[in-house]
Amino acid sequence: MLVKFFATYRQITGCKTCDVPAPGSVLALMEDLSERWPEFRDLILNEDGTDKGDDVIIMVNGRHIEHLDGVATKLTEQDYVAITPLVAGG
Amino acid sequence: MTRGNGWIGTILRVNLTEGTIKKEPLNMQDAKDYVGARGLGTKYYCNEVDPKVDPLSPENKLIFMTGPLTGTAACSAGRYEVVSKAPLTGTIGAANSGGHFGPELKYAGYDGIIFEGKAETPVYLHIDDELVELLPADDLWGQGVHPVTEALEAKHGKVHVATIGRPGERMMLYAGVMNDKNRAAGRGGMGAVMGSKNLKAVVVRGTGGVKVANPEKFMEEATKARTMLRAHPVTGEGLAALGTEILVNIVNEVGGLPLHNGRDGSYWDKADDTSGERLVETHLVKNQGCFGCTIACGRVTKIEGRGDLDGFGEGPEYEAGWSYGAACGVNDIGAIVKANFICNEEGMDPITLGSTVACAMELFEMGAIPESDIGFPLRFGDAEAMVKLTQMCADGEGFGNIIGLGSYRLAEKYGHPELSMSTKKQEMPAYDGRAIQGIGLEYATSNRGGCHVRGYMISPEVLGLPVKLDPQVTEGKGALLKTFQDLTALCDSTGICLFTTFGIGLPEIAGQYREAVGSDETDEEILLKGERIWNLEKRFNIEAGVEKDTLPPRLLREALPSGPAKGKVNELQTMLADYYAARNWTSDGIPTQEKLDELNLTY
């Protein structure tokens, strides 16, 4: 499953994308990524690790997880996920 | 002498036909009702000019106006507004700019300037505190923004300069007013109005200050706002580190980045080549802030090792990065930076220019524009042709003059006005209204034509600020857009930067305003001024005969062919009904008498 990283998260991962085996859910993916890159933990997960952090945007197949099932959104190998810190422009 | 309530209390009235300069007291009642900058400038304009006026005639007027917070210690308070009827659209034109020019005007002792008539020969206005004089600009005419700015700095010392480039002199319909070299009052053609008056520049030096009504409480409010901006991930870190161009990948990810003039949907597999991340890697020298700004989103950039493309300047912002990037199908970021440099150096709106090139590319590829008209092939993805055409537009050479008409007039000339991605003849920026429904409503209802900064629905629909709305649904968009439009009108009119609204909201804007001007109005009463401004602009447009609110047929009928929003069109009619109801306008989009009375809106 493809995971894309945007903005300053690329400085943590050192890559723009990575391929990972599809975990059961978005939350499981967040946990996997936090194990791989411990700096991620406090950025993408909330304090008790039960939900995403306030300042991260997570999209599955281009849809914000807020409009899917949140961090419980199921993932398959065909899905792609994008993770970005909260940024803005215009 | 300052009045001590955020205002100086004096405006300049410059009659260019007669060569006269008068100092007049600021209309304080209008300042109270219409806040300042965009609102107050528009009120002065509506008081004095027939909405049917030819915007490029001597009968038109051009107004530079600051806000009550401009030049104060309020957060990011470096803004001013240039107001006139816009030659590109025929709507009210109000273009906002940062840098240091606005504060300097107030420090010189003036809240604003009203230009009337037309000078017989090129002139510039020189302001040095009490001294205000019109001086010949014959030797500056025919020069670009940067050499003119440098020449005037060399002559007058430590000054701030607002000027037009050569396209403005030729009254190119989307020429902007540039200040401090690379800051732009960019949209709608305010530079063309300036050129029509033979006014090349405004040069200002001020040594005074701005007093506020309640200094201690004001500083508390300003400190609170600045602290919030520093603590917010967007305004405290993201914009400084990565600039506005950082949005490319995110907007592309939701399938909202219009590709090839919108012809091929709004998802691009090459988007990352033109992203903010890429700009940082390849061209960024440093970030830079305007007057009193803690955000500092500006990009100082350079191009090296690319031969003719080499250069040094600022930008691009996200919108220009898109218009010269995805819209034209060009993923050469050096070419995008170069095209943006040319726009800055000559005072041209890069959103409209890049979009017009994209429109020409589509017309060329479908055979509607013969190669003989252009002089070379113009296909999507051709970076060299894109930069060349931008330079030709700046030079007023050949087909560049047709590009200078904007996409609506270009597409109409070649028999396909439906292929102009514009509303009210101004090009829509870098978000596809099919993938992101509310931004489509915003483009349709914007009082100055296609524009993203009249009610930035990307905040809730893509970024989740202040709440997350689904970009693909229509429910709730009309009422929220109304609030965003009113708040934006208020923010623009105070003299602080709209980007502050990523980190602060109405309570902080109203708080700073209240303590600066000495008001006891509630937040809601202050927001009502934003609604009054929006309705004033709308009334002007109706009286000017501007067409109704709609979108290009492509957004209403051509379903997106791919991406996360595949199959979507913009559901405008549904949202318009909700929006008009929220505004208490008729179903045709006309402000009701009841609404006008509620707003005490008369002129």
Chain A residues whose CB is inside 8 A of the B238 CB are: 7-8, 85-88
Q: Say yes or no for a CB contact (<8 Å) between A62 and B254.
A: yes
Token pair for residue B191?
């530079």
pLDDT at B376 over 50: yes
**How far B78 CA sits from the closest chain A CA (Å)?**
18
Nearest CA in chain B to A15: B277
* Residues in Cβ contact with B462 at an 8 Å cutoff, skipping those fewer than 6 apart: B250, B251, B254, B256, B431, B436, B471
Q: CATH number, domain at A30? A: 3.10.20.30
Total domain count, chain A: 1
Q: At what angle do helices B506-517 and B523-544 cross, to 10 degrees?
A: 90
When pLDDT is averaged across residues A76-81 and rounded to a whole number, the result is 97
Chain A residues whose CB is inside 8 A of the B317 CB are: 89-90
Within the 300-339 window of chain B, which residues sit less than 8 Å (CB to CB) from chain A?
317-319
In a domain, A54, yes or no: yes
Residue of A3, A4, A6, A60 to mutate, interface with B, max B Cβ within 10 Å = A6
In a domain, A14, yes or no: yes
pLDDT digits (tens, 9 = 90+) for B173-212: 999 999 999 999 999 999 999 999 999 999 999 999 999 9
d(CA B150, CA B203): 11
In a domain, A28, yes or no: yes
In a domain, A50, yes or no: yes
* Residues in Cβ contact with B27 at an 8 Å cutoff, skipping those fewer than 6 apart: B44
Which of B234, B470, B565 minimises the CB distance to A88? B234
In a domain, A90, yes or no: no
pLDDT digits (tens, 9 = 90+) for B575-591: 999 999 999 999 999 99
Strand partners, B127: B132, B204
Q: Say yes or no for a CB contact (<8 Å) between A90 and B453.
A: yes
Other CB atoms within 10 A of residue B482 CB: 22
Kindly list the structural domains of chain B, giving each domain's residue range(s) and its CATH number in brackets, ordered by start: 10-205 (3.60.9.10), 243-426 (1.10.569.10), 437-598 (1.10.599.10)
Q: Say yes or no for a CB contact (<8 Å) between B456 and A90.
A: yes
pLDDT digits (tens, 9 = 90+) for A6-29: 999 999 999 999 999 999 999 999
pLDDT at B2 over 80: no
Cβ–Cβ contact B562 with A under 8 A: no
Chain B residues whose CB is inside 8 A of the A64 CB are: 254, 464, 468, 470
* Residue-number span of the structural domain to which A58 is assigned: 2-85
DSSP B525-536: HHHHHHHHHHHH
Peptide linkage before A38 cis (omega within 30 of 0): no
pLDDT at B386 over 70: yes
Q: Which is it for strands B160-163 and B199-205: parallel, antiparallel or unpaired?
A: antiparallel
pLDDT digits (tens, 9 = 90+) for B107-157: 999 999 999 999 999 999 999 999 999 999 999 999 999 999 999 999 999
User: Which pLDDT belongs to residue B603?
Assistant: 58
Q: Which residues of A touch B (CB under 8 A)?
A: 4, 6-8, 10, 16, 55, 57, 59, 61-64, 66-67, 82, 84-90
Chain A residues whose CB is inside 8 A of the B452 CB are: 90
Nearest CA in chain B to A63: B254
Cβ–Cβ contact B463 with A under 8 A: yes
When pLDDT is averaged across residues A43-52 and rounded to a whole number, the result is 96
User: Which pLDDT belongs to residue B1?
Assistant: 46
**How far A87 CA sits from the closest chain B CA (Å)?**
5
Nearest CA in chain A to B321: A90
When pLDDT is averaged across residues B264-279 and rounded to a whole number, the result is 96
Token pair for residue B16?
């260019």
Q: Does the complex come out with an ipTM higher than 0.95? A: yes
Token pair for residue B525?
């009463």
pLDDT digits (tens, 9 = 90+) for B515-552: 999 999 999 999 999 999 999 999 999 999 999 999 99
